[in-house]
């Protein structure tokens, strides 16, 4: 599954889900989340 194929609405939805999880501040998951988030959203070439 390539993130580039997601529509803008899907990306926003995914960000909302990640944000909701992120605010729970489970420290182990936070590290995982940060890596996944940066891969998905900062890798816009």
Q: pTM for the whole thing?
A: 0.35
CB neighbour list of residue 41: distance below 8 Å, 6 or more residues apart:
3, 11, 15
Total residues found in the chain within this entry = 45
Rounded CA separation 45/33 (Å): 21
CB 21 within 8 A of CB 29: yes
Give the model's pLDDT for residue 14: 81
Ramachandran class of 7: left when φ > 0, alpha when ψ lies in -120 to 50, beta otherwise: beta
Residue spans of the domains in the chain: they are 3-41
- pLDDT 10s digits, 1-45: 455 676 888 878 888 877 777 676 666 777 777 788 788 777 654
């Amino acid at each position: 599954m390539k993130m580039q194929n997601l529509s803008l609405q899907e990306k926003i939805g995914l960000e909302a889900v990640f944000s909701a999880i992120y605010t729970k501040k489970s420290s182990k998951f936070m590290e995982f989340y940060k890596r996944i988030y940066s891969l998905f959203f900062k890798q816009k070439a």
